[in-house]
Amino acid sequence: MAKEEGSPESYLPLTPATFHILMALAKKENHGYGIMLEVEESTNGRFSIGPGTLYGSIKRLLKAGWIEESEERPDAELDDERRR
């Protein structure tokens, strides 16, 4: 039986990067660099995600509707406008 495009099954198996990104975001909202740090910390340095892989994966997860951008922003003095 073929996997219907866009169905949850069509994304399986998850890539290691996607799995770790979703696990990091399950704990709390975060921006890209924060996700990179969380993945490295939660795996005790055994797995790290480079920026190209991270942002490519985030783009696909956003398009698929698995994650969404937060509308809330930190205090402007503590925020970097590039963070999404």
pLDDT at 73: 58
Q: Alpha helices, DSSP H only, in 1-84?
A: 16-27, 32-42, 51-64
53: closest CA among 28, 11, 20?
20
pLDDT at 2: 60
36: closest CA among 26, 50, 46?
50
**Sign of the dihedral defined by the CA atoms of residues 44, 50, 51, 54, in that order:** negative
Q: Is the pLDDT of residue 76 over 60?
A: no
pTM, to two decimals: 0.75
More confident residue, 76 or 54: 54
